Amino acid sequence: MTSSTSRPVIEDPSWVLNPITEISKEVRHALILSSDGMVIGASEGLLRDTAEGISAMTAALHGAARAAANAALDAPDGSPVTTVTVQNAYGTYMIMPAGVRTNTFIAVSGGPDMPMGTVAHIMARQAKKLGEQLMSVPARAQGGSAS
């Protein structure tokens, strides 16, 4: 199966992203992306080119974090990582999977005063809702309709 056969389609991502971006003025933007770095949805105001670059780098970051954590923790290679958080002087960037087996993530960036606990809680709630939605809708079939 190629990634194009399993990539979900979310016509309006605002139902997932708005509850996260509206938490605090410190939340800069949010993305829904596939594990191969393709943008599935982006918060309002995030330019498409910027979102695509961030999504590609986020997929690489998540994969590297999973490999490093599994090696450091002596975990099996396929062990999932639930959250990756990166902080620097300019703020915080968090990545969280949207359910199990969806190959979809939510990523959020915010300023240094972003309320991380609150944002992580809402992200987890929205990720769960998104994962449930994605698992209830069959993936697009390649080359035509599924029978």
**What domains can be seen in the chain, in order of their start residue?**
15-136 (3.30.450.30)
The conformation of residue 138, written as its DSSP 8-state character, comes to P
The conformation of residue 144, written as its DSSP 8-state character, comes to S
pLDDT of 2 strictly over 60: no
Measured between alpha carbons, how far is 81 from 94 in angstroms, rounded to an integer?
12
C-alpha dihedral (136, 48, 58, 18), degrees to nearest 10: -50
Q: Are 107 and 16 in contact (CB under 8 A)?
A: no
Residues whose CB is less than 8 angstroms from the CB of residue 108 and which lie 6 or more positions away in sequence, other chains included: 20, 21, 27, 29, 30, 31, 93, 94, 119, 123
Lowest mean pLDDT among 2-16, 48-62, 105-119: 2-16
Whether the model clears a pTM of 0.85, i.e. scores above it, the answer is no
Lowest mean pLDDT among 27-41, 53-67, 70-84: 70-84
- Give 114 or 145, the one with higher predicted confidence: 114
> What's the average model confidence in pLDDT over 109-131?
94
